[in-house]
Amino acid sequence: GAGVSQSPRYKVAKRGQDVALRCDPISGHVSLFWYQQALGQGPEFLTYFQNEAQLDKSGLPSDRFFAERPEGSVSTLKIQRTQQEDSAVYLCASSPAPLAGAPRGEQFFGPGTRLTVL
């Protein structure tokens, strides 16, 4: 079946612009995660949704970052007034957990959106 998809794959923004990054999780997956991966680093957790509820947003670096998943499927990560330090790959992952029988914590990653802020 189809995996996690993200769009756009590449985004160039001028400093101060707002951007919106989209994630389509695997159909039926309850949980959705956003991560930020800087060059040469491991992914860093940003936020987590269970269906439409945002259960954890502790990793969002500032109030310029906002995520939503209004119908419990597609999610959008929005970054307002982008800064150069926001340049990174933004990864979305989905998981069937916490449904009974689903492997604990197993997450499936999308291809990512590479954001470059000039």
Distance, CA of 26 to CA of 74 (rounded, Å) = 10
In this chain, which of 91, 116, 117, 118 binds another protein, going by CB under 8 A? Answer: 91
In this chain, which of 60, 95, 115, 117 binds another protein, going by CB under 8 A? Answer: 95
Residue 72 binds another protein (CB under 8 A): no
Q: What is the CA radius of gyration of the chain?
A: 14
H or E segment and range at residue 50: strand 44-50
Residue 36 binds another protein (CB under 8 A): no
Q: Please choose, out of 19-27, 63-71, 74-82, 89-97, the segment that lies near another protein by the rule CB under 8 A.
A: 89-97
CA 16 from centroid of its chain's CA atoms: 20
In this chain, which of 18, 52, 56, 85 binds another protein, going by CB under 8 A? Answer: 56
